[in-house]
Structure 1
Amino acid sequence: MKVRRIAAVLATCLFAALLTPEVAVAAPDVRVASYNVKGWHLTEGAGQIDGRVRMRESLTRIEAKQLGIVGLQELESPQAEVIRNDGGWELFRADPNTQLAGSNYTGNAIMWKDQAWNKVAAWQLHATVGNRRTLHLPIVLLQHTLNGERVVVMSVHNPAGPENAEWREAMRRIEREKIRDLKQHYQHVLLVGDMNENEAAACFFTTNGLMKAATGYHPNPNGSCPTAGYPGVDWIFGAGDIGFAGWEVDRTFEERRWSDHPLVSAYYTYR
């Protein structure tokens, strides 16, 4: 009798377990991107596409791609207003990298889907190299609304041009030290941006296992750096318990003259 009663109880528990939904929410894969939007003032004038229009068109495609977090560079105030007026995004802008006419300024920013993420904190890295102007790099700590997972994101735009190679190298070192610091405090860290370099950036940030590249790039076993494979200057790197999949370079943004850069994106997965 006891055996039959125990068997009946076990069967009831098993049946109830099959009907009971999972309580724990699995950590989702999140698609993160980097996009140099091409500043608003750069396409003023006859025959050009207004920067607000470019931003609205870009935003439509970004939303269609179901992106969750996007690091932005060269974002000017009129373009920032387009994002804020969209209603689906939260935006954090760093201090001006360049002050333009009136209240308009350009610089780095990060936006995220407001239904998916809550901002826990936001701050900036103010980077000065020698007597050059200070660059301002936004950093946000986000918490997922479903599972509570947290991720830190930093968006950067390093100087362009062969004459600024030393400045870029110095900026990379500052950024690397900040990533090391963030990695000590947070499990998931993302670095996205326009590095204005290809192999130099890939090699620098992945050497010694500091970060993973969303492209799949990694140094050779002997520590030397192979060619990057991907020829662009826009990158996504991750530190901590993060994996990547689905790297994509969307050149629609260039082809339709919304920007002079593609949008690069990848899924990152919590480990």
Structure 2
Amino acid sequence: MTTTRTTTRTAAWAFLLTSIVVSVAMVPSAASGVVLPDPSRGEASSTAAAASHLGPPFKVATYNSLFASHTDGRNPRRAQFPHSTVRTRRTVKLFRRSGIDIAGLQELERSARRKFRSLAPEYRIFDASNKAVVWRMDDFTFIEGHTIRTRTYHGRLARTPVVTLRQRATGQHLVVMSVHNPADVRGPAEALRDEATQQELAEVLRYRHTADPVPVVVLGDMNARATFFCAFTESGDMHAAAGGSHVNGVCDAPSFNKGIDWIMGSSDVAFSRFKDAYSTRLATDHPLITAVARITP
């Protein structure tokens, strides 16, 4: 770990913890999750006791890295973007500068995945079908990984990675899924997206509807706005880092810049400091979406 990164992360977490102690009342989302007050938006409250029951903070992200095959070779489809090697270097710098602990990546092809591994040995990767979950090894340890299959373009089956991690500081287990549901670029795909969303939710609820529920974070490019949010929060156990509500059958999806890349958490994962405005400096055609997460008891 570099001195620059350590100093930056220490200062960031010190600011976050101070702001929570000063203003900690949790604003519940309608999906039974919690979103912590964000001091940068002037949100404040007075229940400081709640802070002591939250686990240590960690930063989560979702990031569509743009297929290497779209920018590499003689006649790249997306010639306005640099070669994937250049873009991967920029991605690693962005992850380090932003203090990312856990991320879901999409469109991460083999060449870019190899480059990421060589440039960022502090992260471990569990990948499947150009999707990956990555985590910082000094914060989390690997427990188990597997995949689920959902239909993508033209009905083909694609694998979605699901990883169980253990937070080193607390021993708490956390399940993380990286999702990429099909867009309409190869024809109408709404039915495929809806089907995939239900399969992904079923996998989440498998960890939730037990005697000892495990916290879950779902990260990904869902290629949908309200239709995804409303379907994923209908059960009452998932909420979005971006906010929104779903109460008594009335769904109010949050609105943010691109609006199709989501950070979702189960009701025992609290979010704060949601951000979707990172400039990726032509590393990809998507923003880096981040939030600070803490596991509640």
- TM norm structure 1: 0.81
Q: Deviations over 1:138-181 (max 9, x none)?
A: 01101112221110000110000161111111111111111111
Work out whether residues 145 and 163 of structure 2, in 8 Å CA contact, stay in contact via their aligned partners in 1.
Answer: yes
> Which residue of 1 is the match for residue 285 of structure 2?
260
Structure 1 residue 61 displacement after superposition = 1.1
**Residues 1-271 of structure 1 mapped to structure 2, 5 A cutoff:** 27-44=55-72, 45=74, 48-85=81-118, 86-94=120-128, 96=129, 107-128=130-151, 132-161=155-184, 163-185=188-210, 186-219=213-246, 221-230=247-256, 231-253=258-280, 256-271=281-296
SS in 2 for 1:225: strand
Work out whether residues 125 and 135 of structure 2, in 8 Å CA contact, stay in contact via their aligned partners in 1.
Answer: yes
Amino acid at match of 1:40: A
CA distance in 2 between counterparts of 1:244 and 1:77 reads 32
Work out whether residues 71 and 83 of structure 2, in 8 Å CA contact, stay in contact via their aligned partners in 1.
Answer: yes
Q: Deviations over 1:227-246 (max 9, x none)?
A: 43225100011114111111
SS in 1 for 2:262: strand
Work out whether residues 179 and 220 of structure 2, in 8 Å CA contact, stay in contact via their aligned partners in 1.
Answer: yes
Work out whether residues 187 and 240 of structure 1, in 8 Å CA contact, stay in contact via their aligned partners in 2.
Answer: no
CA distance in 2 between counterparts of 1:252 and 1:268 reads 21
Structure 1 residue 27 displacement after superposition = 2.5
Amino acid at match of 2:94: R
CA distance in 1 between counterparts of 2:245 and 2:188 reads 28
Structure 1 residue 77 displacement after superposition = 0.9
Structure 1 residue 114 displacement after superposition = 1.0
Work out whether residues 152 and 182 of structure 2, in 8 Å CA contact, stay in contact via their aligned partners in 1.
Answer: no
- Taking only aligned residues, the RMSD between alpha carbons, in angstroms, comes to 2.2
Structure 1 residues 66, 182: closer, same or farther in 2, change over 3 A? same
SS in 2 for 1:64: helix
Percentage identity across paired residues of the two chains: 28
Work out whether residues 230 and 253 of structure 2, in 8 Å CA contact, stay in contact via their aligned partners in 1.
Answer: no
Work out whether residues 26 and 147 of structure 1, in 8 Å CA contact, stay in contact via their aligned partners in 2.
Answer: no
Amino acid at match of 2:162: I
Q: Considering Cα pairs closer than 8 Å and 6+ residues apart, tell me whether 1 or 2 has the greater RCO.
A: 2
Amino acid at match of 1:77: R
Unpaired runs of 5+ residues, structure 2, are 1-52
Q: Deviations over 1:77-123 (max 9, x none)?
A: 111112211211100111x3xxxxxxxxxx11010001111101111
- TM norm structure 2: 0.74
Structure 1 residue 210 displacement after superposition = 2.3
CA distance in 1 between counterparts of 2:90 and 2:195 reads 35
Unpaired runs of 5+ residues, structure 1, are 1-24, 97-106
CA distance in 1 between counterparts of 2:163 and 2:112 reads 20
Structure 1 residue 127 displacement after superposition = 2.1
Amino acid at match of 2:156: R
CA distance in 1 between counterparts of 2:166 and 2:110 reads 26
> Which residue of 2 is the match for residue 3 of structure 1?
none
Bigger Cα Rg:
1
CA distance in 2 between counterparts of 1:128 and 1:140 reads 20
Structure 1 residues 228, 216: closer, same or farther in 2, change over 3 A? closer
